[in-house]
Structure formats: C-alpha cells, structure tokens
Amino acid sequence: MNLTVAAIGTDVGKTVISAILCQAFKADYWKPVQAGDLQHSDTDKVKELVSFPAFQTHAETYRLTQPMSPHAAAQIDGIHILPTDFSKPDTQGRPLMTELAGGLMVPLSSTYLTIDLIQDLGDPVVLVINSYLGSINHSLLSLELLRQRNISLFGVIFNGKTNPQSRDIILQYSGVRVMADIPHAAALNRDFVKTHAKNIAQRLIISDI
C-alpha cells in the first residue's frame, strides 16, 4: 500500500522512518520537495539504508538549494511551486512511501500547504512523533488537523527517546494506533533499519521482509 510519511515538526526522524517503512513494505521512496542538502539528500540517505534488491527511489519534483521552508527556499531559487506539478511516480505496481518536508502546515507556496499536498496525494498518513518540550501540543494539533481534513491516519510512530508521560497522554487523547516505537540509533545503518522493519512487519503481519 502507499503511505505518506508526515511528522509533527522538523527534524523528528521522517527519513529514518521512511527507510524502515520502505524496507518493511518493500516500497519505493519519493520525496516531492527537497530543501537544502542537495549533495546528500534524503533520497540519498534512504538509498544507503534500504537493502532489499528491488528497492527504487524516484526523483524529487522540486530540489531547492536552501535548507528552509519550501516557500521561502523556492523564492530564493526563483521557483514557484505549483500544485499541478506533483504527480506520484509510476512504481510499476510496487507500494510507495512519500516523505514530506517538515510538519503538516509548512507552506509550499503562499497558497499551498503541505496538508494540501497530502490531500491531493490521497494516501493514508503515518505520523512521526519525537519527544521534546512541546511535542504533546504539536502531536495533538497534528492529529486534530488530520481529522478535520478527513485524512486517513494509518498510525503513529514514536521515534527516538520516548517520554512515557508524553506518549501516554498523546494516546489517551487521540486513541490512535501505534505502529512502532523506534529507539535512537547508536549506529544508523542497514542492520538497524532491517531489525525495526521486521518488527513492524511482524506487528502488522506483512510478509517477505
């Protein structure tokens, strides 16, 4: 199945989680907007972490030079991001993991937000949550926004060091499904990705990891 990997904010681990999900679902990877780090993009990082033989990545729709909000990075690069430019790549029937940039309300242009792109893509969302001061608020607001927009939530993944009190209250108020708790990686490599992909596959009863 196709899934969209979103997050409650920036730098919460979407790329690592995307790699794990690609491994678990035997899925292709696509990041529609890459802002900054073009010499070692998120696509490059996922290529290094996913190890099943048929894995493929797809070119970004927009590659922006500056590591900032896409709407601002696009202005600097003299580009106008258009909703009509986004088209899911042809995966030849394989599942697709789409990794977004930043949080749900990140602007791609003055009239188009990341949440709008999610709706246009039409795939269920995996929301990545990281524990930091303010993460409860950001998590519950993100989950509420998905509900308001009638966007299907496949589940949430807690990434990195988890605060049990934060985790419990988020789940108490939201009632969402937890797909996995992924610890901080002392060594981020293919073995780490394979181990946690296998755990997710067993939990969700996905075969052929």
10 Cα distance to chain centroid:
11
Say which residues have a Cβ less than 8 Å from residue 119's Cβ, sequence separation at least 6.
149, 151
Q: In a 3-state reduction of DSSP, which class is residue 151?
A: coil
189 φ/ψ angles, rounded to the nearest 5 degrees? -155, -175
Question: Would you state the structure tokens that stand for residue 118, as one six-digit string?
Answer: 């999610």
Beta partners for 62? 33
Question: Would you state the structure tokens that stand for residue 94, as one six-digit string?
Answer: 């394989």
Beta partners for 180? 157
Active-site option among 14, 31, 45, 161: 31
| Cα–Cα distance for residue pair 181/199, rounded to 1 Å | 10
Task: Reply yes or no on whether 31 is catalytic.
Answer: yes
Which positions are catalytic?
31
